[in-house]
Each structure stands twice: as structure tokens, then as C-alpha cells.
Amino acid sequence: MTSSNVNETVTTDYVTPDGQQYRQTIVNEVPVAISIEGISYSVMMITPVDTEAFVIGFLFTEGIIDTFNEIKDIVLSETQIPNTQNIGLLADVTLTSRKLSQFKHHRRTRLGKTGCGLCGIESLDLAFPKIDHKIDDENTDIKGMEPHSIAELDTMILNTARETLTRHQEIGRTVGGIHCAVILNNKGQVESSAEDIGRHNALDKAIGKQLKQNNTMAFQHCIMTSRCSTELVQKAARANLASLIHLASPSSLAVQMAKNAGIRIVHIPRVDSPRVYA
């Protein structure tokens, strides 16, 4: 597997209303064209950090793979974007023969899908697939792990969620304008974290890091800087996360989808007490 040398930040000039010119470091955003053994699958806009983890997590939440072991190789390379001075990324993935056969059978073209969670989808059936979420009973024991109650979550995770996010925003602390996702286990310990200009990408990266370590995400919780939207619920369900904890209010459809999937959504206002929506 290879890596890319494209920087996650860039420096640019800006001018104030009084004519003063300054230089500022901002978050970089580049396209990454994902292909499966030469077959184009999707073009996504990402911040070029933890790119391999993004590809792994994205293919998992898209249902292309079920485990990291089904990926034989990921080759990342750089390319000049036509008609611009900018650099894009290419990610060509080699799957096991069984998964490649399944991919070819179920493949549908998805070009330029946005972060809204639905844009670019061909039909409502594809936009709202049945969510098979295995965590629907907080007293269920999976592989010896017992989830914590909401009261314990309040003490362990919710009261320190903002501080936890701040600690893991290495890019965000410097330049801002970037989302962060932090996945914690059922004891409140951080398992993975990631940053990206797109909230959905940040979650994919955090999930991808877990998959690469062959870690289970059952009964785990994700704290995010963004609001909770439908595509985040779908990705969380795919990863068997128990809770999505956000610093902004969720959308109505995300709440309904989370209720159907048995996922807890929590909004942590800056001043008021946490609000549990599902």
C-alpha cells in the first residue's frame, strides 16, 4: 500500500475591506478518484490526510467490503486535474477475487456524490436502504463486552466530549474549517480519530483506522463536531456503533433513521445539558 505527499493545508492570500493583504493557512481539499482494479467507482472531495484510512472506511460503509482483509492492496497516486493547476489523487483498490466478483455484479456508477448523503443516488430505494444494525439492546453482551447505560455515558463521555474533540483536532486547532470524528470504546477510551473537511469523510477515516486494526466497533460511540445527518447514521449502523454524539442539532430524518436502527443520537449544546434524541 502506498501513501500520498499532498499536504493537508495550503497557504493563500486574502484582503481585508481596508485593503490590507495577509497570508493565511487553510484546509486543503482535493478530489480522490476511487477505482476497483481499474473500474471507476466514485470521486470524493477530501482533505488529503489519512487517505488510505478514508478509502478503507468508505468502501466499508458503502458495502463494498466487510473486513479489511478483503482488500489486497491500495495504490495511491497523484494526478494533474484537467484545466487547473491543482493536484488530485487516484486510489486504485485490489480486492480478493470473491469481493471483486460481488463488486462487479452490484456495481452502479456514482460520480461526484456530495456529502449530503443522498445526492447522486439513482432512486429512493438506494437512498434509503434497509439498515441492518446489530446493536439494539443495551443489555446485550457481544464477545464479553457490556455497554454502559446513558447515565454512565453522561459521566464518562458526554461531559468531556468537547474537550475530547479539541484534543484530537490537530489540524482544526491550527487552521479551523475542518470536522473531527473520535470513536471511543464502551469504557470511554479513544480508539481512533480523524479530521476532514467533510463530516462524512471524517467518520469514514475513523472507521477505516479501526478496520485496519481489525477492531470491533460494536457498542462504541462516535463524537463529532458536526450536526448529525442521514449519511452519518447509515455509516454508524454499518459499523455497529451504539451512539452518535454531536455538537450541533440533528436533522429530523437522521433522528427517525436512528430510531429505526436503534442508534442513540445525542446533541451536546454549548451551555445546556445533553439532549438525547434517539
- Domain hosting residue 39, numbered range: 9-127
pLDDT-derived band of residue 108, with 50, 70 and 90 as boundaries? low
Instruction: Note the pLDDT of residue 236.
Output: 96
> Can you give the pTM of this predicted structure?
0.86
Q: Average the pLDDT over 265-277 and give the result.
A: 89
Last residue of a domain, one of 127, 158, 192: 127
Same domain as 259, residue 163: yes
Q: Sort strands 190-196 and 179-184 into parallel, antiparallel or unpaired.
A: antiparallel
**Tell me: the pLDDT tens digits for 2-34?**
666 788 898 999 999 999 999 999 999 999 999
Compute the half-sphere exposure of residue 116: CA atoms within 13 Å on the CB side of its CA.
8
Question: Which residue, 21, 157, 148, 37, is CA-closest to 90?
Answer: 37
Same domain as 186, residue 68: no
Residue 83 lies in a domain: yes
pLDDT-derived band of residue 112, with 50, 70 and 90 as boundaries? very low
- In angstroms, rounded to a whole number, what is the distance separating the alpha carbons of residues 225 and 52? 22
Burial of 241 per CB tally in 10 Å (0-12, 13-18, 19+): buried
Same domain as 174, residue 251: yes
Encode 45-82: b = buried (16+ Cβ within 10 Å), e = exposed: bbbbbbbbbbbbbbbbbbebbeebebbeebebeeeeee
Residue 2 lies in a domain: no
Instruction: Note the pLDDT of residue 84.
Output: 83
Instruction: Note the pLDDT of residue 144.
Output: 39
- In angstroms, rounded to a whole number, what is the distance separating the alpha carbons of residues 276 and 63? 28
Same domain as 258, residue 190: yes
Residue 215 lies in a domain: yes
Q: Average the pLDDT over 108-133 and give the result.
A: 55
- In angstroms, rounded to a whole number, what is the distance separating the alpha carbons of residues 194 and 192? 7
Q: Domain containing 204 — which CATH number?
A: 3.40.140.10
Domain count, the chain: 2
Q: How far apart are the first and last CA of the chain?
A: 39
Same domain as 268, residue 159: yes
Catalytic residue among 116, 119, 222, 228: 116
Determine whether 116 is an active site residue: yes
Q: Sort strands 221-224 and 71-80 into parallel, antiparallel or unpaired.
A: unpaired
Whether residue 48 has pLDDT greater than 80: yes
Least confident of 43-47, 85-89, 150-154: 150-154
Q: What are phi and psi of 29, to 5 degrees?
A: -135, 125
Same domain as 268, residue 154: yes
Same domain as 154, residue 271: yes
Supply 207's cell numbers: 472507521
Mean pLDDT of the chain: 85
